[in-house]
Amino acid sequence: MAELIVALDVQSRDEAVAKIKAIGPDVGFYKIGLELFTAEGPDVVKAVRDLGKKVFLDLKFHDIPRTVERAVKSGAKLGVDLMTIHSVGGKAMIRAAADAAAEFGASAPKILAVTVLTSLDQSDLEDVGIVGRTPADQVAAMAKFAIDNGANGLVCSPKEVGALSRSLKAGTLFITPGVRPAGAAVGDQKRVATPADAVRDGSTHLVVGRPILAADDPPAAARQILAEIAGL
């Protein structure tokens, strides 16, 4: 069954711990991104793990293969379950990340590739030399490239997951942000889908932030999403 990951888009370890406690036992997986990790470092990962929760460390590594290899090992030692890299870091970098993770055997973190940031449009791609490909073409090409070179899965929009899950090998993980239960505020997200639609299209992990963090009753908001995907 698809898993629910709550994005800890907060600024401090104390706030993160308070949110996790407020959400309660129904959610077992949390995303720590650049804002929180840069503020609090590995201690916040340890704090989330100490509460018995799994961690998606979303730092989107993009560097030379040796540096990414060592960063993945550092994340694996912290006990994280999912980590992100940029697919445009190239074949050797993706392989270095996958091989570094694999050294941890049963506790190896899964390596997820980012294809094209959803903030980029066609003219942004042209600015960085990607000419003659639409963002959708570039997503499809980079997704295949990342999986062929050892990534375990992809971070992608719920609008992309259907086509990607049909074209990539079975067992590929699809992590989708931009998920909104029917009736929830969309906020600054432009291309959203409901939890059920995302999972029906192949999403294996839903990343949800504000619809749970900012809800009047966060545990109830989480339970509603879990019930929606459990009923499929």
Report the catalytic residues.
60
In whole angstroms, what is the distance from residue 174 CA to residue 163 CA? 11
**Least distance from ligand C5P to the Cβ atom of residue 145, Å:** 18
Q: Based on CB atoms, which residue is closest to ligand C5P, 47 or 192?
A: 192
Q: Based on CB atoms, which residue is closest to ligand C5P, 5 or 76?
A: 5
Collapsing DSSP states into helix, strand and coil, what is residue 207? strand
Residue nearest to ligand C5P (CB): 209
Q: Based on CB atoms, which residue is closest to ligand C5P, 10 or 94?
A: 10
**Least distance from ligand C5P to the Cβ atom of residue 59, Å:** 12
**Least distance from ligand C5P to the Cβ atom of residue 118, Å:** 4
- Which residues are at the interface with ligand C5P (CB under 6 A)? 7, 9, 33, 118, 155, 177-178, 187, 189, 207-211
